[in-house]
Structure 1
Amino acid sequence: MKISFLKKSTLLFSTLVLILGLQACDPFGVKSTGDLTTLNFDETDFHGLDLCLSANAEVRVGDEFKVEITCEESVMPYVETEVENGILKVYFSRNVFDVDHMKIVVTAPSWDHFDVSGSGDVEVLDAIEGQSLHLDVSGSGSISAIEAHFDVAELEVSGSGDLKLAGSADALDCDISGSGKIKCFDFLVNTADVEVSGSGDVQVNVNDKLDAEISGSGDIVYKGSPEVNARVSGSGSIKKF
């Protein structure tokens, strides 16, 4: 009887440890539920945004740094922000699913760097300017800017994401791998270097020189009357609008 009791106690203890261990490993994540709540996060000295979750982010230009995040109560404790090398990163510390109403409003004196990984969307609602602009979408997210004026602009899409840009630059570098789209008909540049691998599409507006390379079924459409150096392997095309 004593041995049987010890076996049962050991089994009960092992089961309890297993349950606690599974909870600690967070196998299913946190479901986004509850009323919407808004918090301000105390971050400063950033000029870029790295959005690592599914949310709509509004980017503003202003004298003060502000980070305002709205989401369901159940997931707010797992929202994390940090600034590294001038880039504000927003992410979840645990696996979160069914996020439907998350909104982020960020303000800084200047902006020149935006990354989206996943299905998040970034919309730059004020004019931005500077020397070098970097936009990168990996996944199905998007970035759009209503007015940007830079010396150099580097745009990259990997996956099915979209980039839309208006304004101007001296030089533009575009790279798409996947089925994404880069829409820059309203972004006037002097020179452009465009590379498409896959089924992605690029629209550019170029004054002087366009270097264009396609490997796959993607298309490059350009406005303006630049000198065009074209290289195509596959069924893709390079054509004037």
Structure 2
Amino acid sequence: MAAVLKIGDSELDIRALLEQLQQHQLLPRLVQEVVLDQSIESVACDPEEAYKTFCLQRNLVSEQQQQAWQTQHKLTQEQMYMMALRDAKIAKFKEDTWGNQAESYFLERKIKLDRVLYSLIRTKDPSLAQELYFRLNDDGGSFADLARRYSEGQEAQTGGLIGPVELSVPHPMIGRMLSVSQPEQLWSPTPIGEWYVITRLEKFVPAQFDDSMRQRMIDELFKTWLQETTQSTAVQPLLP
């Protein structure tokens, strides 16, 4: 069987190339790209506008910068144009397919997208955790000072302060506590695994459905569709 690809000193025929794709877990990525190419085949875009957008996104303002990028990525000008057109088609395909679902999907996901700034102290000593809670709650102790001195995690370096982070980021139990907290609400020591955790909500930052969030929701819907479609696509080697 004739070689179809040479890499260094290695020449690969069709069978060897397929074996390499499978061995290195690259076949699913190839299937994904083929599925995507088939899906955007009929999408219409202006090639010149696509190229302009492609260059602007990469800050390739001058012709010299464009040629340097082309050389760096070992592409011909035609290949660069085709890459730009493909990007534009994918963007239009995502907008046309999921643009009208973005807001409802955001509302479904909002509880996990809201962000919180919170303070945390964790220790493996339940007696110490209780003492620290009393010092915070009854004596008005400084959370930052006590966290720097006693907390056993990386949060000690920031005086216990974490965030703002989305509510999906902390441990699920901490996330649930923070989601029903009022600012400055202090929670008594809570056992989570090997730790005893004291938390206090500092600030709640609700997620906003702005342009950036809308695009993120579209991208998430697209990614889910692409994964599901790729997994359900039949792949059959056609070798003699």
Identify the structure with bigger relative contact order (alpha carbons < 8 Å, sequence gap 6+). Answer: 2
TM-score by length of 1: 0.23
Structure with more helix by fraction: 2
Q: Which has the larger radius of gyration?
A: 2
TM-score by length of 2: 0.23
